[in-house]
Amino acid sequence: MGDQKLIARVSSDLERLGVEKAGFVFDQFMDIARIEDEGQTLNHSVNVAGYMERIAPYAGMKGDVAYVAGLLHDVGKCDVDQRILWPGIMYGSNEVLEMRKHVSYSYDRLKDDLPVAAVCGLLHHFAQRDNPHPKNKPAFLGKKIMKEVAPYLKCLEVCDFYDASINRISDRRFDSFSDKDKLLKEYHGDLSVLRIFMIN
């Protein structure tokens, strides 16, 4: 069940950062660790959390909130049909539709306890080319929460896109972080946040 070193690292990070509701966060993370996809979602989640914490001070974010938003952005994958998560699976239209549900599932899991992480989970593909969301953000999200979430969401879009592009077998686009020109060309979100990510 998951990489024990990564699990221990996350437990330590939550304590070091003084994360509120750390027990709830860790329980959600352990659900990710149980996904049987050869550790791809687990590794990706921990990587994105690390990137988010690293750039937090440069992007107007609280480090603990940024870390949790990164760590749990894909927690909804625990609730999709697990067969579609195996590396190398061929996606047809049914599999694509099923995978797109993970953002709503992430929101549903987190909305009552972690509203910032919940909205980040719901909208983290919003700026990307393969955006499965409608052009307008959901009406039920008020201006107050969207204002609070804005820096986290912009940074999460970059961190998620970057890590998936270099590490995920199913979405590998770049060989390394040094392929910056290609990263700039492929990313369709907030370029000012991308620049913060690239220099920090």
Position 167 scores a pLDDT of 75
| Cα separations in angstroms, 104 against 1, 78, 92, 158 | 25, 12, 20, 20
Does the pLDDT value for residue 174 go beyond 50? no
Hey, what are 187's tokens? 């990313």
The third-level CATH classification (topology) of the domain covering 4-199 is Hypothetical protein af1432 (1.10.3210)
**Average pLDDT rounded to a whole number, residues 21-46:** 95
| Torsion angle of the four alpha carbons 130, 43, 72, 195, in this order, in degrees rounded to the nearest 10 | -60
Q: Higher pLDDT residue, 115 or 180? A: 115
* Residue 125: band (very low, low, confident or very high) from pLDDT cuts 50, 70, 90: confident
Rounded Cα gap, residues 42 and 2, in angstroms: 7
The reported pTM is 0.86
Residue 131, helix vs strand vs coil: coil
What number is the average pLDDT over the span 190-194? 71
What is the structure's pLDDT at 89?
74
The domains of the chain are located at: 4-199
H-helix segments, the chain = 4-17, 22-33, 40-55, 63-72, 93-100, 102-110, 115-123, 143-167, 180-186, 191-199
